Each structure stands twice: as C-alpha cells, then as structure tokens.
Amino acid sequence: MKNSTNLPGTTMPSLLYGTAWKKEKTADLVTRAVKYGFRGIDTACQPKHYNEAAVGEAIRRLTSEGIARTDLYIQTKFTPLNGQDPLNIPYDRRAPLSEQVAESFEVSKKNLAVSYVDGLILHSPLENMDQLMIVWQAMEEIYRLGETKRIGISNCYELEMLKQLYEMALIKPTIVQNRFYQDTGYDSEIRTWCKEKNIIYQSFWTLTANPQILVREVVQRAAQIYQKTAAQILFRVLVDIGIVPLTGTCSDKHMREDLEIFNFDLPKTEIQEIASLFTSN
C-alpha cells in the first residue's frame, strides 16, 4: 500500500481502516481488514462509539499469525467528557484535564496491548483555548516519552483555531482528521494550510456524506473507463491530492475494492477535474 508523507519514526499508510460503530464485530472486522492488506487502524478511547479492546484483540490475533505490531500504523484518540457516554467514561471525570489525558492513554495502551501508538489525536476541541492547550500539553508529554509518534486533532473546522494551536504548541500537530463534506466546503482552506505546514489531512465520512459526488458525470465516466467503482475513483483522487481517507466498511468485497485503488492511476487532468468538485460543488 502506498504511504503518505513520512515523519521521523513513523509511516502512515495512505488509507486507514476506521473502527467506529463496530461493537462486538470489531475484532473480526479489523483482523479481516489487515489480512486483506490494510496496515493502518484508527480507533479511540471512547466506549460510546469504539470497542478499543476488541482492536487490541485483533492485534493479538494478527501477531500470532505473523503480522507484527511494527507492520501496523495504529492511532487512537483522547475524547473529552462531552464526547463520552456519562455512564461509561474511561477515566476519572473529576480529575484535572491533564490527568484525564494520561489516564485515557493508559487505558488505550492496555486495551490495545501496545507500549506505544503511532498517532494520538484529540477527538474534538475543548470549550476554550486554555483548556485545549492543557490537553495538548498532556499529549505532548506522551510524545516526549516516546509513547506516540505523532499528535493531532480531529473535528476542528476553524482554521484560526488550528493556526493558534500550531503557534502555541511546542510539539506541532501533524494530523488533522475531519469529516469530509460539503457543509464545510470540504475544508478547502484548512487543507491548503495543512499542506503548507506538512500536516496530513485525514478524511472521514468520505463516502457516506458525498453521494452527490459519486453520481457526478466526471466520476461516473472515469469509473466506466477504468472499470472501477465510483467509490474507488473518489478514494484514488483523494489519495492523489494528499488526503488520507478512512474507510469503515464491514464488507469483505468493499475492503478488497478499497485496497485496489493502488493498482491503477488516473491522468492528472482527470484528478484535477474531480478534485475541483471539492471546492466548487
């Protein structure tokens, strides 16, 4: 599988397998995805939407079958209180923010049965910059300890906030993971800024939010010419313009199809024409 921009100490695959909403099926789905060829796994310490311990079970299974931890890119998230199920919070809700981050990360390491992760992402911004920076500094400490190779932020759609975080951070964000959809103009300005700062932009909700893109004539035409699905064309274009998409498919057929995007190339003119849909659609 093609890899995205590298930083010292870690390589991120150009397509990640997302594990949200999979509940008791998580371990089997992650195991199958990796066996098909996925090498990047996205999860979170958020029992409300993720079964992180089942991702760990999959990693153990895969290790026993010869796929080493070092063959995988694993990223998890710290989820603030407002994103947690009040009845199932994986850290002490009364603890100071910095301790919540540390406790959450210890739970993640235990769940995943790993000594480090490749990426640690703040699941969403906090109520204000002061709180955000407390959390960020706690994540920086995890980075300094060598327990994560990258830190980043998700669900952040305000470019000014990202710029402020970047300026204030000692360890700069190298991941922005956002919902990829028309309501935010496909984060056009944020993506441009990320490219300038060598920050990898990850997209989620990429297919679900964009049925209108998949049926556009230019996408359908490319699918017909190259004998691919519209989803494969979309993913291929995103990878070509420097986006790392997440796919959370539960279908074996779609897992295989998603990985097949690395087996063909599109002309630059077609890439540009389809990519223009993400700014003018």
The pLDDT mean for the chain works out to 96
Partners of residue 245 on adjacent β-strands:
203
The pLDDT of residue 223 is 98
User: What pLDDT shows up at residue 2?
Assistant: 65
**Per-residue pLDDT at 7 exceeds 50:** no
pLDDT at 279: 83
Report d(CA 36, CA 33) in Å as an integer: 5
pLDDT higher than threshold 50 for residue 142: yes
Task: Measure CA of the first residue to CA of the last residue in the chain; give whole Å.
Answer: 30
Residue 62, pLDDT above cutoff 80 = yes
Q: What is the mean pLDDT of residues 241-269?
A: 98
Within a domain: 123: yes
Write out the H or E segment, with its range, that includes residue 203: strand 200-204
Question: What's the whole-number mean pLDDT along residues 181-207?
Answer: 97
The predicted pLDDT at position 8 comes to 43
Residues 106/116, Cβ–Cβ less than 8 Å: no
The residue range of the domain holding 70 is 16-210+243-250
pLDDT band at 273 (very low <50, low <70, confident <90, very high): very high
Angle of helix 217-226 relative to helix 230-240, nearest 10 degrees? 100
Q: Is residue 59 a part of any domain in this protein?
A: yes
Give the C-alpha separation, 216 to 255, whole Å.
Answer: 23
List phi, psi (to 5°) of 240.
Answer: -65, -30
Is the pLDDT at 3 greater than 80? The verdict is: no
Residue 267 lies in a domain: no
> Tens digit of pLDDT for each residue in 107-124?
999 999 999 999 999 999
The H-or-E segment that residue 153 falls in is strand 151-154
Looking at the structure of the chain, the number of domains it has is 1
Residue 235 lies in a domain: no
Asked if residue 227 is part of any domain, the answer here is no
Whether 154 is in a domain gets the answer yes
Give me the pLDDT at residue 5, please. 47
Give the residue carrying structure tokens 């990829």.
Answer: 180
CATH of the domain at 101: 3.20.20.100
Instruction: Identify whether 231 is part of a domain.
Output: no
- In a domain? residue 6: no
Tens digits of residue pLDDT in 44-57: 999 999 999 999 99
Rg for the chain, CA atoms, rounded? 18
What pLDDT, on a 0 to 100 scale, did the predictor assign at position 224? 98
Q: Tell me the three state secondary structure of residue 68.
A: coil
| Cα 108 to Cα 53: distance, rounded to the nearest angstrom | 8
pLDDT above 50 for 6: no
pLDDT band at 11 (very low <50, low <70, confident <90, very high): confident
